[in-house]
Structure 1
Amino acid sequence: MESIQQIKKYINDNELEKATGLLKERVLVNPKDDEAFFLLGNIYRKQSNWKPAIECYLTALDINPNSPARQAHEMVMEILSFNNPDLYNP
């Protein structure tokens, strides 16, 4: 199994498919790996795939309430709740 550090390198190198596959394997083996869920959420967020990103962040928070997934989840919710009325009234 690849280390978290190696998976982070794949993410930084934009090898998202490879990192996603490795993280999914990792959470199957250890469903309490909050860092893997957090990183998986980050990948989905980068892809603007909001629903699975939120699900991963919430899973990470269920496992570890002090996870950095809390801030990431809040950020996604802010993005999704953004409303600019000027966009509707040109």
Structure 2
Amino acid sequence: MDNRLKSIDRLIRDGHIHIALEQLNQLTDLPGVNKADTYYLMGNVCRKQGDWQGALNNYQEAVNLDAESPAAEARKMIMDILEFYNKDMYNQ
């Protein structure tokens, strides 16, 4: 992950979601930016906002671009959470 993306990752971790999203949107069309890492970070933004579907979509796009992306594990974790919630609903 290049320094620009690392900086955005720090913003996300520190809770500066809107700033991170703005910076990610600026990077998406620039040449030389790792698109898989960008989609992974977009997924993290969506997850922090509680947008599970958006997170899954961005993580999947990252995995489509790079099967070794950390997005694969992040996507699996969200799916596990959602499956757990759904199972609980069936048991009520």
Shorter-chain TM range is 0.7 to 0.9
**Contact map agreement 2:59 2:72 (CA 8 A) in 1:** yes
Tell me how far apart the structure 1 counterparts of residues 17 and 77 of structure 2 sit (CA, whole Å): 21
Q: Which amino acid aligns with 1:28?
A: D
1:17 corresponding residue in structure 2: 18
- In the alignment, structure 2 segments of 5+ residues that lack a partner are none
Query: Which of residues 72, 83, 88 in structure 2 aligns to 1:84?
Result: 88
Change (3 A) 1:52 1:27: same
Moved over 2 A (4+): 28-32
- Which deviates more, 31-40 or 18-27? 31-40
Q: Which amino acid aligns with 1:20?
A: L
Tell me how far apart the structure 2 counterparts of residues 86 and 5 of structure 1 sit (CA, whole Å): 41
2:74 corresponding residue in structure 1: 72
Give the number of equivalent residue pairs: 87
Change (3 A) 1:85 1:21: closer
Please, what is the CA RMSD of the aligned residues? 2.0
2:35 corresponding residue in structure 1: 33
Tell me how far apart the structure 2 counterparts of residues 86 and 50 of structure 1 sit (CA, whole Å): 20
TM-score (norm 2): 0.81
Calculate percent identity across the aligned residue pairs.
28
